[in-house]
Structure 1
Amino acid sequence: MKISQIFELNKSQAELDFVDIDISGDTPLFIDPFFISIRSDNWSIEVSRTIRDFFQRVITLIRQNNLRDGKDLFRHLHEPNTTCLGMSVGAPRGRGVGTGDTDDIFDSIRNSRAVQTGLIQDIEDNLLFVDGFGRDKLSDMTTNIVTKHLIDYTREQCKLHNIPMTRDVPSGFYWNRQASQWEQQHTKMLVINDRVIILVPKGIVSFCNDYTPYKYYNHFVLNFMQNEHIQMNSALVQQRKNGARFVTKKDLKEHHPFSKDFIADFSRRNPDVLTNFKTRTKTNSVSNNEITDLNIPELCQSLIVDLQAIVSGTQDATRFHRLVTGILEIIFYPSLIYPTLELEIHDGRKRIDLTFDNAAKDGIFHRLSNTMGLPCQFIMVECKNYSTDIQNPELDQLGGRFSPNRGRVGFLVCRSFENYDLFLRRCKDTYRDDRGLIIPLSDNDMIELLNNHNEWNSDHLEVFLSDRIREIMTH
């Protein structure tokens, strides 16, 4: 049974930021440290720093020949069965790193020439150069290392969706990069049928199909060798009728068959090829349809009906707020992730209804910061289920939450505007006074965006937001 069913959330995967796992079996997705390392959102940056700190500590111990302490670090990489991700058959059992495997994994890494020569710098490099190290092991190790980040994320998602948690539960060991050591604590955890469950953001998981030794070998190593053999005019060079010379990958594979030792030796001699592979390898967030069988257009129409059924006023304010959260999750994913409810600022004296981490790699949420000079590492949202027009105090309330560190962009979501031109002028005043960018969204706006939502094409959303922002910024 899935999390959404257990707690009767009445939300589909598309309305949820976390992977809606079935706790009776594993979902074939992986926590991918390479993907996390190339992401720009605040959460992923912090997680990536923790992963790197752990693995740099491991490398240091290996180079110091301090094998006892190195193995001790690995013995905390136990079987993770809390996230229900991976490739186990039947009940989750985290087969990537089984009990008793950690010493073998450490020895494989220690004995790898790629580690000894400094070729391996990041934990995901083990996939490329260490025999017996696959995506299951990498995901399992990463899960253990970043457990504290995932626990904090789980706590916020439970708060957002009103999911009960249990106090004073052992967290299990996690890596503390400030202390550079393993730690554990008793804290609030999600417990289902006496079992700890940890939620994972859907925006940071992958199928681990991009950063692989086979793609590196086939598309980068062999491509480089083809040009190299042509320049040397080796015996593998053939000639077409038009005089063009070429080398087949089939011939190269016969002379240089794939092995991790081979691509490690090649990479030491040609480090620029490895750098090029890392730079050019792109991994995208999984779509909702890739995680679950879901009819997105039907879901959007259902949400429109739900939105129109909500009555304006304080009585349905919470219902409106929760529905809007799901709608924004659908519309803005994967550019915006990690919705957080009622974020406290100024030592708890002020709260923001809803915040999203800005994870955009391109598009309007990326341009706001990179070309328009508006910091927006977080996007803030205020939801007002008013039956009357929004006034200056509500605008000032949202503007008062802006700061250079949090961001200076937000959405003010309300039901309708009797005088839209007047409200837009107020947003212009806020922007002209250098107090940030407030973007209004009404029911009609959200209905338009839902009617035109396409998981594979964000053109309509881009045009809509660009036009709306241009209205505000244009004097």
Structure 2
Amino acid sequence: MNNISDYYNLGSQQPNLNFVDIVLDRDNLLFIDPRLIEASEDLEMKKMQLYIEAFWGELVKRIRSKDVKKIYSILSGLKEPRETRLGYSFSKSSGNSVASKLKAKIIDAITRNKAVQSGVLSHFSDVELFIEDISSDRISDITTKIVKSVLIEYTQEQCRLNGILMTTVKQDDIFDKEKLKWIRKDCELPIFHGKPIIFVPKEIVRLESGAGSNVACFYRYAVRHFIKHDASMMEDVSPSGKDGEILLKDVKAEYPLSKESLTNWGIKYGKLLVDYKTDHLNNRLRPLTDLEIMNIVYKADDDISQVS
């Protein structure tokens, strides 16, 4: 396999590298997690967070102004990021990414979402909890494009530290957080078979199941701590326990998981999202271990389908 460490003869593997030691010529089923960026105290990640906040704040502003042209403009740079080799950049599943044909659908989902309009969804890292069609691959792709400028600088620094040759290449769709627009410029980047490569810090990636488990955890938290204690919500629930006791499965049967429900609950219960992140998510949020990353990037191709 052509991992970064092999191809550039670094003499080190994942535990001794700061970045993800991706395989350069196939998918690496790891995804950038904006929650890990937001929670990090690292100066590099804090810089990424500034880009995310600038992008999200401007997008919400344009959504509320209902200026469709300006909304499309700020989302125009969200094409598939292939330089990181993360996610589904090479597989047939790449159609699930934020490609041009899906942009209108994503825009519609974001602009119509009441959590955005009401201000409940104020952090980009919470987008996957409320917006339909936003899952681990799409949130990763969107985040990658927003922080691409920082990732390029990070790659250049790692190349200098590790003695990796770089070449000047044109890079499109770089978000300028000062001008709040997408620009094109020349950048120094490492090359693999004529294609530029961008390195990703290993502390900001998650497994494919990360987004789905986050949504499911948020749903369970809402049911246990808010829905079950709301008398008005319990009126329509049919009990199946002894002596008419309402069980958790009864509540879930009446209120199955949907992002529309999560949106409505987030608005109805003002403390729901804050309490979930404070009481549940923040204590469990952690970067992947080197071993977890190695189980992805050092797997043989015929073993990839077995990795979850």
What residue is the counterpart of 1:394 in the other structure? Answer: none
Question: Could you tell me how far apart the structure 2 residues matched to 1:272 and 1:51 are?
Answer: 24
What residue is the counterpart of 1:79 in the other structure? Answer: 80
Pair 1:217 & 2:219 matched: yes
Provide, for residues 224-281 of structure 1, a one-character-per-residue CA deviation record: whole Å limited to 9, x for no partner: 222334997986567769xxx9532210112112211111111111021111112231
Q: Report deviation, 1:179.
A: 2.3
Q: Is the 8 A contact 1:217 1:258 kept in 2?
A: yes
Give SS of 1:174's match. Answer: strand
CA change 1:179–1:238 in 2 (3 A) is same
CA change 1:201–1:268 in 2 (3 A) is same
Q: Is the 8 A contact 1:112 1:130 kept in 2?
A: yes
Q: Is the 8 A contact 2:237 2:254 kept in 1?
A: no
Provide, for residues 84-134 of structure 1, a one-character-per-residue CA deviation record: whole Å limited to 9, x for no partner: 111456489574212322222112111222222222212233211111111
CA change 1:265–1:145 in 2 (3 A) is same
C-alpha root-mean-square deviation of aligned residues, in Å? 2.6
Q: Report deviation, 1:180.
A: 2.2
Q: Is the 8 A contact 1:86 1:94 kept in 2?
A: no
Question: Could you tell me how far apart the structure 2 residues matched to 1:94 and 1:194 are?
Answer: 23
Q: Is the 8 A contact 2:81 2:89 kept in 1?
A: no
CA change 1:149–1:233 in 2 (3 A) is same
More strand by share: 1
Give SS of 2:190's match. Answer: strand
What residue is the counterpart of 2:111 in the other structure? Answer: 110
What residue is the counterpart of 1:195 in the other structure? Answer: 195
2:248 partner letter = K
Q: Is the 8 A contact 2:237 2:246 kept in 1?
A: no
Pair 1:131 & 2:132 matched: yes
What residue is the counterpart of 2:260 in the other structure? Answer: 261
TM-score by length of 2: 0.86
Higher relative contact order (CA closer than 8 Å, sequence separation 6+): 2
More helix by share: 2
TM-score by length of 1: 0.57
Q: Is the 8 A contact 2:237 2:251 kept in 1?
A: no
Q: Report deviation, 1:35.
A: 1.6
Pair 1:278 & 2:277 matched: yes
Q: Is the 8 A contact 2:240 2:250 kept in 1?
A: no
Larger radius of gyration: 1
What residue is the counterpart of 2:304 in the other structure? Answer: none
CA change 1:92–1:162 in 2 (3 A) is farther
Q: Is the 8 A contact 1:21 1:84 kept in 2?
A: yes
1:183 partner letter = I
What residue is the counterpart of 1:2 in the other structure? Answer: 3
Q: Is the 8 A contact 2:82 2:89 kept in 1?
A: no
Which has the larger displacement, 79-88 or 245-254? 245-254
Q: Report deviation, 1:175.
A: 1.6
Identity of aligned residues (%): 28
Q: Is the 8 A contact 2:136 2:210 kept in 1?
A: no
Pair 1:60 & 2:61 matched: yes
Give SS of 2:263's match. Answer: helix
Give SS of 1:281's match. Answer: helix
Unaligned runs of 5+ in 1: 295-475
CA change 1:166–1:228 in 2 (3 A) is same
What residue is the counterpart of 2:301 in the other structure? Answer: none
What residue is the counterpart of 2:158 in the other structure? Answer: 157
Question: Could you tell me how far apart the structure 2 residues matched to 1:261 and 1:102 are?
Answer: 20
Pair 1:70 & 2:75 matched: no
Q: Is the 8 A contact 1:26 1:91 kept in 2?
A: no
Question: Could you tell me how far apart the structure 2 residues matched to 1:183 and 1:227 are?
Answer: 50
Question: Could you tell me how far apart the structure 1 residues matched to 2:246 and 2:53 are?
Answer: 39
1:184-333 equivalences under 5 Å are 184-207=184-207, 209=210, 212-229=214-231, 247-279=246-278, 280-282=280-282, 283-293=285-295
Q: Report deviation, 1:74.
A: 1.0
Q: Is the 8 A contact 1:31 1:206 kept in 2?
A: yes
Q: Report deviation, 1:70.
A: 0.6
Q: Is the 8 A contact 1:24 1:91 kept in 2?
A: no
